[in-house]
Chain A
Amino acid sequence: MAAKGKAVARHAVEEHRGELQIRIDAPSLPALFAEAGRALAEVMRGTPLEPPSAWSDEVVVTAEDREALLVEWLNDLVFRSEVSKVLFTDFQITHLTDHQLVATIRGTRLARLRNPVKAATYHALSIAERDGGVTATVILDV
């Protein structure tokens, strides 16, 4: 899957013996972070209790570099999902540097999240510019 010529971001859940690997392709870094959030939501899933985007929050995440920022962003969503019982599906990245992300996130409360995600890991983590876009891989502990 190449990012070249694509106006929209997309993701795929790839094989890993013990866990789950997600691959994200996007035309820009902010789009990549938003798509990573959607990939996480697809893995978790669940049965909504209310209309989409009924729940919203502001998120600020900081990290050592942009790869770590992607892990911390996903881990922030894992934490908020578990504590609030909310699946976040809509992400507006309002500020993004290599060290900080600010976003508005929206989602819906669930009776139960379908699939467990314990955390995003740093193992085999990568973000690379490719064919005019950006590609990332992250392994989730499930």
Chain B
Amino acid sequence: MTTAAQPAAADLRPIGPCLYELGRAPGSAMRVPARVFADEVLLTQIVHDRSISQLVNVTTLPGIVDAALGMPDMHEGYGFPVGGVAATELPDGVISPGGIGFDINCGVRLLVSGLREEDVHPSLEALVHEMSRSVPAGYGRHGRLALTREEMDRVLGEGCPYLVREHGLGRPEDLPLIESGGVIASAAPGAVSERAKQRGEDQLGTLGGGNHFIEVQVVDAIFDAPAAEALGVSLGQVTVLVHTGSRGLGHQVCTDHVKVMDTALHRYGITVPDRQLACVPLSSPEGQRYFGAMCAAVNFAFCNREVIAHRAREVFRRVLHGAPAAELRLVYDVAHNTAKIERHGDRTLCVHRKGATRAFGPSSAEIPEAYRGVGQPVLIPGSMGTASYLLVGTDAADALSFSSTCHGAGRAMSRGAAKRRVQGHVLRKELLARGIVVRCPSNEELAEEAPLAYKDVDRVVDVVHRAGLARKVARLRPIGVVKG
């Protein structure tokens, strides 16, 4: 099989609000249509790279149902496009590590304080500086925790409840406010290789590199006052947003199992148009082993963000001299690179989300009790220096997108192109002039993540809202950035 050619915008026909479809071509290997949530402007940006041809490749996966879906932040990746969603029906449907990616359970966590912007302004430099010292950033950096092998296996198998109970990291009241309670029961630490455990053993509580970050933010707009009140969010409030994942451990889990599946798929009569889409039935021994290892990496990532939140709480407490308003309360923690077993209608599906966020509606029994009737909080980080958004899931998204939405602004420009257009030291000054304090290892890395390298997050979130995938609740403006 060969990779599909990139379709043009005109090949996609509008079929609903902010929804375009590329139908099954006669005689093609497509099993279902490809659908993209976008407006005309975003669609024009999306067809400039190879993301739609990658989405067409996804439509060929055995067991896929309804459609392969592209979120409005979609851009070219490897295997799945980033911002891609696909569900396969069990028991025969496949699981593909390329549908989750190397950074398993890369995700976002939002904490809120009782502080206003003016309360932290005199201490902002110190807050950002101390945060950067407490949470190591950069590739392969080691954290303050070094896990024994027994502790590692318990982190992988038992997730955040273990970390809170046995190590006093995080708080018991955090647990219901983490997707899946911070632990996936299907995790199989024994399916995680020795190499993966070695990579992860000193990385709990570290940020990593690339587009990972910690931001100190201010709530600067409320769109849905009742929902904001239910989530404990108010105008002018200081918040902290953490964006990171499973670090080297998750990367190695994906590396290990792509290799296994690349060899094994032929035994199941499967061919794929892209080797990075290697897959096997979820019910097969190889599928079960990958699923167990992937879930363990998901638990590791939940724990990583829990430790970072613990460090952020320590920093706020220390820098702001123990002021009660400086206590940070968790609003929610969401994953955006996972495959999960979910019920949608009368079907049991394996929902792959690669750069896409789960967004359950207000009637879902799987969201925290406090948020029932409101919807699952959905966190959409913008690019560095631009706004991030808090939304809530809708019940309608079940039929539209397997209850999924976008995960960020989405890249519109390569790193090289960004570096040719932006000088890091100039960007640093511009951000400072806008009242944003930045800690970043180098100006070059700063330039790679410049706002112009990303799509317009306001437009992306508007499409999500207008398409009915999630509802806007609040906008968060950064005032301090620790970049990974």
Contact = CB atoms under 8 A, between A and B. Distances in A.
Number of chain B interface residues as a range: 35 or more
Nearest to B254: A119
Interface stretch (B255-263, B305-313, B456-464): B255-263
Contacts of A19: 77-78
A68 B258 CA distance: 11
Contacts of B445: 114-115
Contacts of A26: none
B140 A82 contact: yes
Contacts of A85: 140
B259 A63 contact: yes
Nearest to A19: B78
A64 B78 contact: no
Contacts of A116: 138-140, 208-210, 484
Interface string B189-206: 000000100110000000
B78 A112 contact: no
Contacts of A124: 3, 78, 274
A125 interface: yes
Contacts of B103: 118, 141
Nearest to B444: A114
A122 B3 CA distance: 13
B259 A79 contact: no
Interface string B270-282: 0000111010000
Interface in B392-427: 411, 413-417
A91 B118 CA distance: 56
Interface string A115-142: 1111101111100000000000001011
A13 B419 CA distance: 14
B386 interface: no
Given A82-B199, A116-B210, A141-B101, A17 B255 contact: no
Given A81-B140, A83-B198, A17 B258 contact: no
B199 A83 contact: yes
A18 interface: yes
Contact of B139 (A13, A15, A115): A115
Contacts of B79: 121, 123
A17 B75 contact: yes
Given A18-B75, A20-B415, A112 B441 contact: yes
B276 A16 contact: no
A117 B251 CA distance: 9
Number of chain A interface residues as a range: 35 or more
Contacts of A13: 416
B263 A64 contact: yes
A72 B254 CA distance: 12
Nearest to B49: A17
Nearest to B258: A122
A18 B76 contact: yes
B159 interface: no
A78 B251 CA distance: 10
B252 interface: yes
A10 B268 CA distance: 40
Interface in A11-36: 13, 15-20
Interface centre among B51, B195, B278, B441 (most CB of A within 10 A): B195
B210 A142 contact: yes
A75 B415 CA distance: 22
A141 to B, nearest CB: 5
B442 interface: yes
A59 interface: no
5 contacts: A15-B416, A17-B50, A113-B138, A119-B251, A141-B101
Given A82-B199, A116-B484, 10 more contacts: A15-B417, A16-B414, A17-B50, A19-B77, A64-B262, A78-B251, A82-B140, A122-B275, A123-B274, A123-B276
9 interchain residue pairs of minimum CB distance: A123-B78, A116-B209, A122-B275, A116-B139, A123-B276, A17-B76, A82-B140, A118-B251, A118-B102
